[in-house]
Structure formats: C-alpha cells, structure tokens
Amino acid sequence: MRRFILPFAACLGAITATASTALAANLDMYGNALPDVPAVTSEPNLVIDVGAGVGTAPAYEGSADYATAFVPIIKVERLNIPGLTETGSGDHTGFSIHPSFSYVGVRASAGHAALSGLDDVAATYGAGAKLAYEWKLGPDASVQVYGAARYTFGGASGLVGEVGANLIARPAPGLEIIIGPVLNLASNSYMDTYFGVTPAQALQTGGRLTAFDPEGGLKSVGFSASGRYEFLPDYFLNVDASYHRMVGGAANSPIVQAGSQNQFTISAGLSRRFSLF
C-alpha cells in the first residue's frame, strides 16, 4: 500500500505546485493565458448627506421681521431601488429623480403685532419628489432644469412645489456652486392657511386686517444660491442664500401687506455623507 500512496502524493503535490505557479502568472494549468475578468464592484444603494446649520430667515412667510432659525440639511446624492429607479450615479447628466422635503416652523401670533388676532399655525412638513434634467456646458459646468412637488401636512395641508433652472459649477475638487431662478407654487388650502384671513379673524384684529381668501398658484419668484465644499472625506461645509418676492394672492394678503413682500434667507451648516449598501 505504501508504494502506491507515496507516488500518488508526489503527483498531487506536483499538480498543486504547477497550478499555483500558473495562477500566479495568470495562466491556466496547461500554460494558456487566462481571460481578463473585471473586478466586481458595487455601488451603494443610498448615499445621503445629513447635517444641520443655523441661519436667518423671515419669522414667518411674509414677515418683515427676521429670526435665527435651525436649518436641517438632507441631500440624497444617490438612490437605487432595484427594478424601479436608479439616480445619482455617473457624470450628473440626464434625467434624475430625488426625494424632496420641506419644513416650515410654527407661526405664533405672540410677539408679532402684524399677526395679533390670528390663530397660531403648527409646524408644516412636506414630502414629495423632484424631477430634474441636467446637461453639460463644459468639463466643470452644467445646466439643470427641475420641478418639485410635495404634499404638506401638519399646520397646513395641501401641495407646494418649485420650478426652476440652475447653473452648476464645479471649479475645484470637492467644491460645487449652484445658482438660478425659481418659481414657488402652492395650492389653495396651503395659501388659505398662511395668507388667508377669515371674517372671524378680521373681527379679532379689530378690522386692522380685512377678510381675504387667496387663490392657489404662483406664490413667489426669486433666485437661490448654494455652495458646498468637501473639506474632509465625506464631511461638507454648506452655505445657502435666497431671495423671493411674494406675488399673486400671497402679495395681496393683508398679512404680507402688514409685513414685507421681499423675503431673504441665509444659512450655513455642516453635513456628513452616509453610504448604505
């Protein structure tokens, strides 16, 4: 038995050594070149920036007074739902669809003479989607057109959205600058909550504010600008600013007439990128 086992073991060892040498040289066991096999890579299904900042903004929509505000930062860079949608990968061009969120803080009448006699409005939350198309102007710049729509709930129920265009510049690694005009729209029920005055409320103000029932549609026009810089891997400094002028039913509201049609915001904050596979 021993004389059979020893030659078999020696043969097996020789085959193993030959195979190991061939694999190290990218050859099969017969000396033929192995085909190139691309490395298997996987992209995360969700890439999201989450952070917070502070800024200054009108105390409420249409206010002439400004207040310091907490600013949540949520930006979805990539979203892949197998078999349904994939957006955010590649070179930024073409169609994309992203989640869209909004938040309007509590509107309290106390402390604002223009709101005296009006009911308070609880915080309003919005969730929906943004559809965009982007094309390149050059290696470091592109143009984007977009539309967003969100359903709102909480203080005001209804629909809000934006339509706009952006010039996007990426002049240096990790730096992105976006600027462009935007139109803001809102449904009738949303406009009623923030810009309407009921007859009962008009009486509560002593006639200072007249009854007013705004129509839904175009709420404001303006422009927005933002800058984003990746100062460490996955860590970003975010700066945002905007100007909007109330138009239509919003501009004609006694609430805005007692405040200001011109609305400015500016904020800065930090965010971190998270990748989920």
Question: Confidence class of residue 201 from pLDDT cuts 50, 70 and 90?
Answer: very high
- What's the average model confidence in pLDDT over 249-276? 95
Query: What strands, in cross-sheet order, belong to the sheet with 235-246?
Result: 85-87, 66-81, 46-58, 262-276, 235-246, 217-232, 175-186, 158-172, 141-154, 124-138, 94-104
pTM: predicted TM-score of the whole model, two decimal places? 0.77
For residue range 167-200, what is the model confidence (pLDDT) as tens digits?
Answer: 999 999 999 999 999 999 999 999 999 999 999 9
What is the pLDDT at residue 7?
A: 47
- What's the average model confidence in pLDDT over 250-270? 97
Structure-token pair, residue 43: 């992209």
- What's the average model confidence in pLDDT over 122-133? 95
What is the pLDDT at residue 230?
A: 95
CB 273 within 8 Å of CB 48 = yes
For residue range 42-68, what is the model confidence (pLDDT) as tens digits?
Answer: 677 788 899 999 999 999 999 999 999
CATH number of 42-276: 2.40.230
| Arithmetic mean of pLDDT over the chain | 85
What is the pLDDT at residue 1?
A: 47
Task: Considering only residues 222 and 37, tell me which one the structure prediction assigns the higher pLDDT.
Answer: 222
What is the pLDDT at residue 243?
A: 98
Question: Confidence class of residue 23 from pLDDT cuts 50, 70 and 90?
Answer: very low
Task: Considering only residues 270 and 10, tell me which one the structure prediction assigns the higher pLDDT.
Answer: 270
Of the given ranges (78-87, 111-120, 141-150), which has the lowest mean pLDDT?
A: 78-87
Q: Is the pLDDT of residue 30 over 90?
A: no
What is the pLDDT at residue 97?
A: 85
CB 190 within 8 Å of CB 156 = yes
d(CA 219, CA 159): 12
Task: Considering only residues 117 and 33, tell me which one the structure prediction assigns the higher pLDDT.
Answer: 117
Distance of CA 207 to the CA centre of its chain: 42
Q: How is residue 192 annotated by DSSP?
A: H
Tokens 């339509």: give the residue.
163
d(CA 77, CA 44): 11
Q: Is the pLDDT of residue 11 over 90?
A: no
Question: Confidence class of residue 4 from pLDDT cuts 50, 70 and 90?
Answer: very low
Task: Considering only residues 81 and 7, tell me which one the structure prediction assigns the higher pLDDT.
Answer: 81
CB 126 within 8 Å of CB 161 = no
